[in-house]
Chains A and B, each alone.
Chain A
Amino acid sequence: MSYESQDIEQEILSTLFRFLARFPSKAEKLTAQTSLTADLTLDSVSMMELLVEIEDHFDVGMPLNAMANVHTVQDLADQIKSLLENRS
């Protein structure tokens, strides 16, 4: 992975941590491996609201079908990174 790619990934993760900070967490600390559903107990409504915020921030469209493979913060970051790469 190039430095540039790592930087982008870190920036995405930091942004996600900022968005996710408002949700009650069972985990001691938010990490890339934090589960969106098990640790953060995001219900479907909160998840949809969160997605809209993330999409607006990065100006990308997240396919709902892709969300079936998103379980952790890292999964979400990977999706966003892939969408940004495909856009450019």
Chain B
Amino acid sequence: MSISDRFAELAHIRDSLGSLAADPSRVVMERFLSPTEAVIGNRPTILVGTNNYLGLTFDPGILNAACDAMHAEGSGTTGSRMANGSFSSHAALEAEFAEFYGVPSAMIFSTGYQTNLGLLMGLLKPGDKVVLDAHSHACIYDGCRISGADFFAFQHNDPEDLRKRLRRLGPDAKGALVIAEGLYSMWGDTAPLSDLCAVAKEFGAWLMVDEAHSFGVYGEKGLGLCEEAGILDQVDFITGTFSKSLASMGGFCVSRHPEMKLLRYGSRPYIFTASSSPASIAAAHAALRAIRSRPELKVRLWANAERLHRGLTGLGYRLASPPSPVIAVQVPSHEEAARMWNALLDEGVYVNLVVPPAAPEGASLLRCSLSAGHSFAQIDSIVAAFNTVRDGAAVPLSQSAG
């Protein structure tokens, strides 16, 4: 394919969104009123699609920490840690992640995407075997693809299918890498981690869990779904991002294996990327301490999730999963999803429009991500908006998608 063909292909994708009059890239947040409200198109709009789970992006302590770090250490690091050296703040954040998880190894990366890319490219070589959940995030697929490993998908959240896939690998199952996520970002469902872990261990496979959407919101301490499932002592690698609950930009990987830190010498996305800026590191560090010291944030988030789930269920909407910080409304067609997404925006509510191929298994979704920063009044306004836009639907959604 030539570059001009590729431009034509991309234009086709843009035009297909344009024909739905629902190109999310045209949404510009002109001014923020709070972590959960911004001015979009001159209109105050409730944000329920920004993964700001704990609502910490405007927390005064976090803002002050970021400002102080910028004044003390500068606006940027101007290079990678392997070339320019580490700032003490990078090392301190890694030490706190290791201490929080009670493990010997923690590494931080410049984005969440690069965390999974960096771990997988650092760990895997051509010929290695990986079995990943079919709903895994793009960065997991990309990391596997670039590594040159042979990778196989097991059916979403299906431990028996994982067992079948590992069995088919024969002797190669021992030492294979199994990958799952904690909370899946599109459907808002959680992985049966203790069952998946048992199957992986039965074959002598390694287990990696991406807690991008579950860190800070699951588990008694907020460590994620692995904590809640009681498998922290068995999972081999846990990754996460700073750009959700941690209200910043970057990512982390922790491991019970001390050798994981050796990836500093062989992970290209770690070696050849500028390290996170002092402000980003300080914000993430302050947010990490907020997760540890303010459990009420998690309580508030869950109360909001349950309230929205109850409200939408009461309106007859089909929801993809039980209450969680991600509540996805299933819509029969992408045209209808686009119409509703636009109508919700007109009502002053911003959600995520997810159409295939971004949505797994061909469904179209109106995806809501809750925040501890939402008030009950905002949740009720979101439900009211969903009620208003439903009235334009040709048939009740609860009866339409079979």
Binding site for B on A (CB under 8 A): 43-45, 48, 52, 55, 59-66, 87
Chain B interface, >50% SS class: mixed
> Do the beta carbons of B168 and A45 come within 8 Å of each other?
no
The residue among B145, B165, B168 with the most chain A CB atoms within 10 A of its own CB is B168
Do the beta carbons of A61 and B152 come within 8 Å of each other?
Answer: yes
Residues of B near A48 (CB, < 8 A) are 134, 153
Bound CA–CA A55/B169 (angstroms) = 12
Indicate whether A45 sits within 8 Å of B362 (C-beta atoms), given known contacts A61-B152, A63-B151, A66-B150.
yes
* B149 CB-CB contact with A under 8 Å: yes
Return 16 A-B CB contacts under 8 Å, by A number.
Answer: A45-B357, A45-B361, A45-B362, A48-B134, A48-B153, A61-B165, A61-B168, A62-B152, A63-B151, A64-B141, A64-B153, A65-B144, A65-B145, A65-B148, A65-B150, A66-B150
Verify if B61 is at the interface (C-beta below 8 Å from A). Answer: no
The size of the chain B interface, using a CB distance under 8 A, is: 19
Contact between B153 and A44 (Cβ–Cβ < 8 Å)?
no
**Could you tell me which residues of chain B, from 164 to 192, have a CB within 8 Å of some CB in chain A?**
165, 168-170
Task: Answer yes or no: B74 CB below 8 A from chain A CBs.
Answer: no
Given contact pairs A45-B356, A45-B361, A63 touches B150 in the complex (Cβ within 8 A):
yes
A87 close to B170 (CB less than 8 A):
yes
- Cβ of B154 to closest chain A Cβ, rounded Å: 10
Q: Mark each residue of chain B from 133 to 159: 1 if its CB lies under 8 Å from any CB of chain A, else 0.
A: 010000001001100111111010000
| Beyond known contacts A63-B151, A65-B151: 13 more, CB 8 A cutoff | A45-B361, A61-B152, A61-B165, A61-B168, A61-B169, A63-B150, A64-B144, A64-B152, A64-B153, A65-B144, A65-B145, A66-B150, A87-B170
Binary CB contact string for chain B from 343 to 378 against chain A (1 if under 8 A, 0 otherwise): 000000000000011000110000000000000000
8 shortest interchain CB distances as A-B pairs? A63-B150, A61-B168, A45-B362, A61-B152, A64-B151, A44-B357, A61-B165, A65-B151
Residue of A60, A61, A87 with highest tally of chain B CB at under 10 A: A61
Residues of B within 8 Å of A52, CB to CB, are 155
Bound-complex Cα distance A87 to B144 (A): 23
Q: Known contacts being A45-B356, A45-B362, A48-B134, is A60 close to B144, with CB within 8 Å?
A: no
Residues on the B chain within 8 Å of A45, using CB: 356-357, 361-362
- Taking CB atoms, residues of chain B closer than 8 Å to A66 are 150
Knowing A44-B357, A48-B134, A87-B170 are in contact, say whether A63-B152 is a contact too (CB < 8 A): yes
Q: Is the pair A60, B150 in contact by a Cβ cutoff of 8 Å?
A: no
Residues of A within 8 A of B165 (CB): 61
Residues of A within 8 A of B149 (CB): 65
Q: Report the minimal beta-carbon distance from B54 to chain A, rounded to whole angstroms.
A: 34
Bound-state Cα–Cα, A55 to B131, Å: 14
